[in-house]
Amino acid sequence: MSKVINLNEWRKQKSTESEFAPIPGFIIWLHCPKCKSTEYTEVRMTGGRIHKCGTIVEEAEVAIDVRAEFTIVQRNLEILKGPDPFNQGKKFKLVNKLLGNTEQLVQKIKNNEIEYQRRLQIISAEKITPYPQEWIPEENGIEYIIVQPNGIMITTARQADQHFPKKQ
């Protein structure tokens, strides 16, 4: 006897699958050999780019799963909502003094995350839903480093030195 396929069930399953499918995309790292400046863009451009100093910019295209990057940024923003690690106890008072306004520093980290998420949303044609809580980056081939003091995750795609190894 053949298996009866319930069309509604099938559709439901399909839509759940596609909700969490990887979204292929690219970010492009740009390096100016003259200014030694490095930045990223979501804008792909054929024929190269000229930096404001007049030098041809070196480019490194990095293939990403937009949903994976988005999910990790989302998790970073959750971490950044937590208590400021600079302000926990006496031990950090000195560090605090040395760094000056740490609130500003944390805000800067937050802004970087928000900006990256904004760019990812531009790359994706659809509104990005993060992967569910049980999704584990390393099980899906996503490598990252953990950056202290907050413990946020920075994926390989975001590490400029991985894409211009000799120039950093």
Residues that bind Zn ion (CB under 5 A): 32, 34-35, 51, 53, 55
- Identity of the residue, 52 or 81, whose beta carbon is nearer to Zn ion in the bound complex: 52
Query: Minimum distance from CB of 162 to Zn ion (Å)?
Result: 21
What lies within 8 Å, CB to CB, of 152 at 6+ separation is 76, 79, 80, 109, 113, 146
- Supply the DSSP symbol for 89: S
Cα dist from 63 to 26, 51, 68, whole Å: 5, 23, 12
- Closest CB to Zn ion among residues 80, 160: 160
CB of 39 to Zn ion, least distance (A): 11
Tokens of 102: 């740490």
Q: Which two tokens stand for residue 124?
A: 């994706």
Q: By C-beta, is 127 or 166 nearer to Zn ion? A: 166
User: Whole-angstrom Cα distance, residue 25 to residue 43?
Assistant: 11
Angstrom distance (rounded) from CA 108 to CA 102: 10
Minimum CB separation of residue 100 from Zn ion in Å reads 29
Min dist CB 43 to Zn ion, Å, is 18
DSSP assignment of 110-131, as one string?
HHHHHHHHHHHHHH-SSPPPPP
* Coil, strand or helix at 151: coil
Question: Minimum CB separation from Zn ion for residue 163, in Å?
Answer: 17
Comparing CB distances to Zn ion, the nearer of 49 and 110 is 49
Cβ closest to Zn ion, residue 39 vs residue 61 = 39
